[in-house]
Structure 1
Amino acid sequence: MKRDNHYEVAFEAYLRSHGVGFIAVDEANRSMLGDADVKSLDFIIVGPNDAKLVVDVKGRKFPGGSAERPIMTWQNWTTLEDIDGLERWAKVLGPDYRGVLAFAYEIQPPFVLPNDTRDLFAFRGQTFLMRAVEVSAYREHMRRRSPKWGTVGLPVAAFRKIIRPFIEFLAPAPVLQS
């Protein structure tokens, strides 16, 4: 977690407001798993009902663009390194852990969401919408965005299908029937 990143600070405040147990990971140094370095994550969460998550927070503005030319798309891009890192962390921490990309959308005026929108969170004079995607579902649907920068993203239809309010991830992972 970066203390100067207002999206991550807002996400931490959101977790505290829900009484969720977590460890905020210091991203100042690169993390190591065995003899290989791996992208640091932002939070290790042990939620109510035994939910266990490794989370990377992606801060985005909605709408994006400028006031003169707003972009009315819920940006969902990340790096392939983020996806790989979350999967590795979840695997190392154990089978109960799930990798999750948390999108903290800072809602830009004059755009307003209804007050009863799930996971709408007011913090320091800003309004955030907390959404999330399980990293395994993200990988399944992702498309390369920029080979040069190593970024990937989801097509709009896939994103709409798999995005959920973050609060839903605080329930335990569903048990798969064999």
Structure 2
Amino acid sequence: MKSDNHYEVAFDAYLRQRGAAVVPVVEARRSYIDVSEVKSPDFIVVGPCDAKLVVDVKGRKFPGVGKGGKSRNIWQNWCEREDVESLIRWQGKFGDGFRGVLAFVYDLAHHIELPNRTPDVFVFRGRVYLLRGVFVTDYRARMRTRSPRWGTVHLATDDFRTLVKPISHFLAPPPDVIELTAEAALG
């Protein structure tokens, strides 16, 4: 985690407020898995319901700015291909139950109004954030090259709408745990 990155600081505060155990990863140097160098994640998270996540935060403004400085009401979801591949590797290295998540933390312009009860809107230090995420394995399955030169990838708008979830979704217990709990309660 970079302490001067307001997106990552807000994400950390959100997780702590939700009761998650959070390990911010200091990114001053590269990390290694076995003998190969790999990009570090931003956070290792154990949710209040034992969700196990390895997270890379992608901070974006909404609305974004397109070519020529024109405002664009698009939920940008691009990242570097290396971000995706590194998260896949960390997920595997941490082992059973850990899932990689690309967290898209949107800094909303003051004029943006969201419907009441929109999940995971987080006000922090005078900014309003919308926190969303995609499992990295799902992202990789549908990602497209955005810029070969810069090594960036993205999801088509329809794919992003299908896969993106509020961050709280990733902190919840998996569906099979919910079902087992309900069965136990019914006896």
Q: Please give the range of the TM-score, normalised by the shorter of the 2 chains.
A: over 0.9
Question: 1:60-81 CA deviation, whole Å, 9 max, x = no partner?
Answer: 0000118x73100000000110
Q: Name the counterpart of 2:103.
A: 102
Q: Name the counterpart of 1:32.
A: 32
Shift of 1:31: 0.5
Tell me the secondary structure at the aligned position of residue 137 of structure 2.
helix
Q: TM-score, normalised by structure 1?
A: 0.94
Q: How far apart, CA to CA, are the structure 2 residues paired with 1:99 and 1:173?
A: 14
Q: Does 1:10 align with 2:10?
A: yes
Question: 1:76-103 CA deviation, whole Å, 9 max, x = no partner?
Answer: 0001100010010010000210000000
Tell me the secondary structure at the aligned position of residue 121 of structure 1.
strand
Point out where structure 2 has 5 or more consecutive residues left out of the alignment: 177-187
Q: How far apart, CA to CA, are the structure 2 residues paired with 1:34 and 1:54?
A: 18
Q: Name the counterpart of 1:170.
A: 171
Question: 1:108-144 CA deviation, whole Å, 9 max, x = no partner?
Answer: 1211223421000000000000000000000111000
Q: Does 1:146 align with 2:142?
A: no
Tell me the secondary structure at the aligned position of residue 130 of structure 1.
strand
Q: Name the counterpart of 1:111.
A: 112
Q: Name the counterpart of 2:132.
A: 131
Query: What's the C-alpha RMSD, in Å, of the aligned pairs?
Result: 1.3
Which piece of structure 1 moves more, 145-154 or 107-116?
107-116
Q: How far apart, CA to CA, are the structure 1 residues paired with 2:96 and 2:162?
A: 25
Q: TM-score, normalised by structure 2?
A: 0.90
Point out where structure 1 has 5 or more consecutive residues left out of the alignment: none
